[in-house]
Amino acid sequence: MSRSSNAAPEQVALDASAQTLSVHWADGHTSTYSLDGLRRACPCAHCQGHGGDAPGPEVFDAPPEREWTDVRAETVGGYALRLRWDDGHDTGLYRWTYLRALCPCPECRS
Protein backbone atom coordinates (compact mmCIF):
# COMPACT_ATOMS: atom_id res chain seq x y z
CA MET A 1 0.00 0.00 0.00
CA SER A 2 1.53 3.20 -1.11
CA ARG A 3 0.97 6.31 0.91
CA SER A 4 -0.44 8.08 -2.12
CA SER A 5 -3.21 5.54 -2.60
CA ASN A 6 -5.44 7.38 -0.18
CA ALA A 7 -3.83 10.80 -0.23
CA ALA A 8 -6.04 13.74 0.57
CA PRO A 9 -6.66 15.96 -2.45
CA GLU A 10 -5.24 19.44 -2.60
CA GLN A 11 -8.60 21.10 -2.96
CA VAL A 12 -12.27 20.25 -2.78
CA ALA A 13 -14.64 22.82 -4.23
CA LEU A 14 -18.40 22.67 -3.95
CA ASP A 15 -20.31 24.76 -6.48
CA ALA A 16 -23.99 24.85 -5.56
CA SER A 17 -25.00 26.92 -8.59
CA ALA A 18 -23.33 24.49 -10.99
CA GLN A 19 -24.46 21.52 -8.87
CA THR A 20 -20.96 20.08 -8.94
CA LEU A 21 -18.18 19.07 -6.60
CA SER A 22 -14.66 19.39 -7.96
CA VAL A 23 -11.69 17.58 -6.46
CA HIS A 24 -8.14 18.58 -7.31
CA TRP A 25 -5.98 15.56 -6.62
CA ALA A 26 -2.38 15.71 -5.46
CA ASP A 27 -1.24 14.15 -8.74
CA GLY A 28 -2.71 17.04 -10.72
CA HIS A 29 -5.88 15.32 -11.88
CA THR A 30 -9.20 17.11 -11.41
CA SER A 31 -12.47 15.25 -11.00
CA THR A 32 -15.82 16.97 -11.35
CA TYR A 33 -18.89 15.19 -10.01
CA SER A 34 -22.54 16.13 -10.23
CA LEU A 35 -24.08 16.43 -6.78
CA ASP A 36 -27.01 14.27 -7.76
CA GLY A 37 -24.70 11.49 -8.91
CA LEU A 38 -22.72 11.74 -5.71
CA ARG A 39 -25.87 11.32 -3.71
CA ARG A 40 -26.71 8.17 -5.70
CA ALA A 41 -23.21 6.93 -4.91
CA CYS A 42 -23.53 7.63 -1.18
CA PRO A 43 -21.56 4.77 0.38
CA CYS A 44 -23.51 4.54 3.63
CA ALA A 45 -25.32 1.32 4.52
CA HIS A 46 -28.70 3.04 4.32
CA CYS A 47 -28.20 4.10 0.70
CA GLN A 48 -26.35 1.05 -0.57
CA GLY A 49 -27.91 -1.68 1.49
CA HIS A 50 -26.01 -4.85 2.16
CA GLY A 51 -23.86 -6.63 -0.36
CA GLY A 52 -23.85 -5.86 -4.03
CA ASP A 53 -21.26 -3.94 -5.95
CA ALA A 54 -20.11 -0.51 -4.95
CA PRO A 55 -21.42 2.13 -7.33
CA GLY A 56 -19.17 3.25 -10.16
CA PRO A 57 -19.03 6.25 -12.48
CA GLU A 58 -22.28 5.07 -14.12
CA VAL A 59 -24.17 6.89 -11.35
CA PHE A 60 -23.35 10.11 -13.20
CA ASP A 61 -24.94 8.93 -16.45
CA ALA A 62 -28.51 9.31 -15.24
CA PRO A 63 -30.16 12.73 -15.45
CA PRO A 64 -30.37 14.56 -12.12
CA GLU A 65 -33.46 13.75 -10.11
CA ARG A 66 -33.41 16.95 -8.14
CA GLU A 67 -31.36 20.00 -7.30
CA TRP A 68 -29.38 20.13 -4.06
CA THR A 69 -29.35 23.62 -2.66
CA ASP A 70 -27.59 23.41 0.68
CA VAL A 71 -24.88 20.78 0.58
CA ARG A 72 -21.87 20.94 2.90
CA ALA A 73 -18.61 19.11 2.36
CA GLU A 74 -16.13 18.49 5.13
CA THR A 75 -13.07 16.31 5.36
CA VAL A 76 -13.04 13.58 7.97
CA GLY A 77 -9.82 12.43 9.58
CA GLY A 78 -7.85 13.18 6.44
CA TYR A 79 -9.09 10.03 4.69
CA ALA A 80 -12.59 10.84 3.57
CA LEU A 81 -15.13 13.48 2.67
CA ARG A 82 -18.43 13.76 4.47
CA LEU A 83 -21.30 15.29 2.50
CA ARG A 84 -24.16 16.83 4.42
CA TRP A 85 -27.23 16.99 2.20
CA ASP A 86 -30.08 19.46 2.47
CA ASP A 87 -32.47 16.70 3.52
CA GLY A 88 -30.34 16.11 6.61
CA HIS A 89 -28.59 12.98 5.37
CA ASP A 90 -24.93 12.96 6.41
CA THR A 91 -23.86 9.41 7.17
CA GLY A 92 -21.98 8.79 3.93
CA LEU A 93 -18.21 8.91 4.19
CA TYR A 94 -16.63 9.12 0.76
CA ARG A 95 -13.09 7.83 1.06
CA TRP A 96 -10.62 9.48 -1.30
CA THR A 97 -9.95 6.16 -3.03
CA TYR A 98 -13.68 5.69 -3.53
CA LEU A 99 -14.11 9.21 -4.91
CA ARG A 100 -11.19 8.75 -7.27
CA ALA A 101 -12.66 5.49 -8.55
CA LEU A 102 -15.92 7.34 -9.18
CA CYS A 103 -14.28 9.97 -11.38
CA PRO A 104 -16.55 10.17 -14.41
CA CYS A 105 -14.03 11.72 -16.82
CA PRO A 106 -13.28 9.79 -20.03
CA GLU A 107 -9.65 9.34 -19.05
CA CYS A 108 -10.50 7.52 -15.81
CA ARG A 109 -13.33 5.50 -17.29
CA SER A 110 -11.43 4.15 -20.26
Tell me: does residue 103 bind Zn ion (CB under 5 A).
yes
The minimum distance between CB 58 and Zn ion, in angstroms, equals 14
Neighbouring residues of 17: CB distance < 8 A, sequence distance ≥ 6: none
Residues binding Zn ion: number (CB under 5 A) = 7
Tell me: does residue 105 bind Zn ion (CB under 5 A).
yes
One residue of 44, 54, 62, 76 binding Zn ion per CB under 5 A: 44
Which residues sit at the interface with Zn ion, rule CB under 5 A?
Answer: 42, 44, 47, 92, 103, 105, 108
